A = this chain, B = another copy of it.
Amino acid sequence: MFHMKRMSTVRVHHPPSRAGEPGSGFRLEEFLPYRLSVTANRMSRAFARAYAERFGLSIPEWRVMAVLGTGGPMPASAIVERTAMDKVKVSRAVAALEGKGLVLRRPHPNDRRSALLDLTAEGRAVFEQIVPLARALEAELTAVLGPEDRALLATLLARLDAHLGKLGTPERDVGDPG
């Protein structure tokens, strides 16, 4: 289907000038979506390991606890919104947390399709233990950036995020980036 005249395929490596080069000198390592993905994944891995080892929690589970821990009782739909996870993931995370006795379900007064979720006393205790760990790990992993650059990064990400949201990009997660 596609075909191309392949002229004298001489391959030149990362030279300052790149005219006529294949891909016009495209370099994956400098491609922002790729960098963003790699960095986010690395960081995620570190957190996933810490949560799993010390608390037996997955990241979706931790996220649910984080939201419930500060947001009071709320239906699953609210967790979906605040968590950027899809409803299937939230449903499963909640079920797992229920099984562990960290989250409980109460009937929703106005809607019997739903239920109000909240941390149990034990769930709250675990949450109180995770927060300092999460903060410490965040601090450790982002130590190269000073406080200012860390704040700057957060700002840039927030702006980018808001923009992506406006572009009609559907919600939910994905396993990999560009």
A35-86 contacts to B (CB < 8 Å): 35-48, 51, 59-60, 62-63, 66-67, 69-70, 72, 82-84
* Cβ 8 A contact of A125, one of B4, B24, B25, B153: B4
Q: Is the interface of A mostly helix, strand, loop or mixed?
A: helix
Interface size for A (C-beta < 8 A) is 92
Q: Which residue of B lies closest to A3 (CB)?
A: B125
Interface residues of A (CB under 8 A from B): 1-4, 6, 11, 13, 21-48, 51, 59-60, 62-63, 66-67, 69-70, 72, 82-84, 121-122, 124-129, 131-132, 134-135, 138, 140-145, 149-150, 152-154, 156-165, 167, 169-170, 172-178
